[in-house]
Amino acid sequence: MAIKTGDRLPDATFLIFDDESGPGEVQLREKLEGRKVVIFGLPGAYTRTCTAAHMPSFVRNADALREKGIDEIICISVNDPFVLAQWGKDTGAAEAGITILGDSAAEYSKAIGMSFTAPPVGFYDRSKRYAMVVEDGVVLTLDEDEPGTCNTSGGEYILSTL
């Protein structure tokens, strides 16, 4: 069953890579408790729409989102933490302060009903393209895009909803 507005997000363990400490784990619960965050999910690092549209929309709007009361911007992708760390540098996300978490086995994406498979393009158990505003672990808004598009899950749109 897909997560929806008003639901509490389940806890999960994600992977992250830091140049100083290497790979590590992050508990989602710790990122959400008492905070207002934007979480956006996407199919994968270095894929066309993710790299050319989705991530750049949040890089462009990171400061404006924080000015509207967002404590943290979190990207969830079905990739390993090493690839995500480099992608964060290449896209400017790291410099913009966007946290990129690896859902390497798509366990979280499946748990919240936001996974899909598209064999013609080599996508197996990937995250759908979505964005949500979450306060203290509860989904305030949730927007999902059609495959190949980045409209209601992009940074500009999420900013317009705050």
* Nearest Cα residue to 35 out of 6, 63, 78, 74: 74
Bridging pattern class, strands 99-102 and 123-127: unpaired
Q: Residue 118 — very low, low, confident or very high, per pLDDT cuts 50/70/90? A: confident
Q: Are 132 and 148 in contact (CB under 8 A)?
A: no
- Beta strands across the sheet bearing 36-42: 22-27, 13-18, 99-102, 72-77, 36-42, 130-135, 138-144
The CATH number that domain 13-161 falls under is 3.40.30.10
For the question of whether the overall pTM of this predicted structure is more than 0.75, the answer is yes
DSSP lists the bridge partners of residue 73 as 38
Q: What is the pLDDT of residue 120?
A: 82
pLDDT, mean of residues 121-131? 88
* Nearest Cα residue to 42 out of 12, 76, 10, 17: 76
Q: Is the pLDDT of residue 1 over 90?
A: no
Specify burial of residue 108 (Cβ count, 10 A radius: 0-12, 13-18, 19+). Answer: buried
CA 24 from centre of chain: 18
Q: Is the pLDDT of residue 153 over 90?
A: yes
Bridging pattern class, strands 22-27 and 115-118: unpaired
Q: 29-68, pLDDT tens digit by residue?
A: 999 999 999 999 999 999 999 999 999 999 999 999 999 9
Q: 66-114, pLDDT tens digit by residue?
A: 999 999 999 999 999 999 999 999 999 999 999 999 999 999 999 999 9
Token pair 């690839």 in the structure block, residue:
83
Please list the active-site residues.
50
